Amino acid sequence: MLSKTTTLLGLAALATAAPTDYPHPPFTTSNAFRLVVNVTDISKYPSSSIHGSEIYAYPIPSNAARPGLAQRGAGNIFYQWHDPTSGIRFPEFGGQLLTEGLRGPDTVMGLRQAIHEVGDHRILMELDTTRAVDDRLADLSMQVTPSAYFPHVAAGELSGVRFSFAVCEQKVYVPKQGELGFLGLEFFYTWSSSEPIPEGCVPARLIPECVKGGLHEVPAGSVAERYHKEAKEVRCYEDVSAIEWEKYNFVY
Ligand X SMILES: *[C@@H]1O[C@H](CO)[C@@H](O)[C@H](O)[C@H]1NC(C)=O
Q: Which residues of the shown chain bind ligand X in the complex (CB under 6 A)?
A: 38-42, 150, 152, 205, 207, 245, 250
Q: What does the alpha-carbon distance between residue 31 and residue 217 come to, in Å, rounded to a whole number?
A: 12
Hey, what amino acid is at 8? L
Q: H-type helices in 139-248, by residue range?
A: 224-229
- Name the pairing type of β-strands 201-210 and 162-174: antiparallel
Name which of 129, 130, 126 is nearest 115 in CA terms.
Answer: 126
Q: What does the alpha-carbon distance between residue 80 and residue 214 come to, in Å, rounded to a whole number?
A: 12
Nearer to ligand X, 52 or 59 (CB): 52
Name which of 64, 100, 94 is nearest 81 in CA terms.
Answer: 94
Tell me the closest approach of the beta carbon of residue 56 to ligand X, in angstroms: 19
Nearer to ligand X, 150 or 187 (CB): 150
Tell me the closest approach of the beta carbon of residue 167 to ligand X, in angstroms: 13
Tell me the closest approach of the beta carbon of residue 143 to ligand X, in angstroms: 15
Tell me the closest approach of the beta carbon of residue 148 to ligand X, in angstroms: 9
Q: What is the DSSP string of 40-53?
A: S-GGGSTT-S-TT-
Q: What is the DSSP string of 220-252?
A: TTSTHHHHHHTPPPEEEBS-GGG--GGG-----
Q: What does the alpha-carbon distance between residue 26 and residue 13 come to, in Å, rounded to a whole number?
A: 20
Nearer to ligand X, 48 or 222 (CB): 48
Nearer to ligand X, 173 or 250 (CB): 250
Q: What does the alpha-carbon distance between residue 125 and residue 108 come to, in Å, rounded to a whole number?
A: 16
Tell me the closest approach of the beta carbon of residue 112 to ligand X, in angstroms: 21
Nearer to ligand X, 35 or 39 (CB): 39
Nearer to ligand X, 33 or 227 (CB): 33
Nearer to ligand X, 22 or 90 (CB): 22
Q: What does the alpha-carbon distance between residue 218 and residue 225 come to, in Å, rounded to a whole number?
A: 6
Tell me the closest approach of the beta carbon of residue 205 to ligand X, in angstroms: 4
Tell me the closest approach of the beta carbon of residue 83 to ligand X, in angstroms: 26
Name which of 239, 232, 209 is nearest 79 in CA terms.
Answer: 232
